[in-house]
Chain A
Amino acid sequence: MKIKSIDELRKIKEQYQDFVQLRKQGEGNSEHVEVLVGMATCGISSGARETLNAFVTQLAKEKIVGAKVISVGCIGYCHAEPTVQINIKGQKPILYGNVTEANVSKIIEQHIKGGKPVEDLVLQVDFERA
C-alpha cells in the first residue's frame, strides 16, 4: 500500500499505539509478550543468533502463544552482549545482559512464565530516549 499523505501516515501510526505502549513502557492492551534480541554485528558475534534461535525453539516447545521474538539493533552494552529485552503488559520492560543460550530457559521459566525477572542478569538502563 502506498502512503500518499501525512494523514495516511498518521493513521498507520495510530493503529500501532498498543504496540508502542508495550514496547516503551510495558503498558497498553497488547496481549503479546515480546522478546527483543540485540542483533547488530556486535551482538551476533557474541552469540545473539544462537540466543534468538533458542528463544524461538523453546517458546514453541513450551507452547507459549502470543510471544514474539524480534531482532532489534544494538543498545550499546557491548560489555554484556548478547542483550535481550522482555516486554510484558503491566511490567516495566526488563533488559537482560549476557543472555547466552544457557540462560534462555531460565528467563522463560522464571520471567515469561513465572512473572519474576531473573535478577542476576538484569542490566541497569542508564539512558533516556529522546
Chain B
Amino acid sequence: MNAPEPNFHGIALRTGELARIVRVNEEIKAIVATAFRINLMALNAIFLAKRAGNAALGFGVLSNELRRFAQDLTRHMASLREMTSGSVGSVTGVVQQQRIARILAEALKLSGEGVPGAREARRRGAARLAEQQSRLRGLDLRLRAAVEETQQLVELGGVLARSAKIEAAYGGGFSAALMQVSTDFAEVIAQIKRSLEVLGKERLVKD
C-alpha cells in the first residue's frame, strides 16, 4: 500500500490566486486615478468659486473640503497598494510551497510505504504551508479593514458632493457652472464607491 498523501484541503490556493491579486491591484489603480481627477476637479471648483465671489462662498468652502478628501483618498489607496504588493510575495510563496509539496508527495508515494524521513518532511512542509497561509489570511483581514475604512471616507465625500449641489443652487449667475461641477463630483464619487464594493468582495484567500 502506498503512504497516504498529505491533506492539503483547507488550503484553497490555486493558480488563480495571483490573477486575483492583479485584479485587486487594477481596481486600486483605477481608484487612484479617479482620486487624482477629483483633486483636479476640486482645484477647478475652487477657482470657479473665487470668480463667483460672494455668490459662492459656501461652494468654495466645500471645494476645499473635497480637495482635502481627494488627498486623503490618495493616501488610503497608497497604503492599500502597499498591502497588495506585499501579498504578491506571500501568494507566490504559498503557490511555490504547494508545488513543492505536490511533487514531494508524488515522490514519497512512488517510493512506497516507510521511506525514512518521509513523515518529518511531510510535517515540515505542512507546517510551512500553514504558516504562509495564516500570514496571507492576516493580510486579507487587514486589506478588508482598510477597504472598509476607505468606504467610510468615501461616504463623507458623497455628503460633500451633495452639499456642493445644494450650494450650487445659490450660485447666482454661476449656478449652472457650479451645478455642472458638483454633478461631476457626485458621479466620480459614485464610481469610486462601486470600485470599493468590488474590492471589498475580493479575497486573497478563499476559506
On whether the two chains bind one another, the answer is no
Interface of A toward B, CB cutoff 8 Å: none
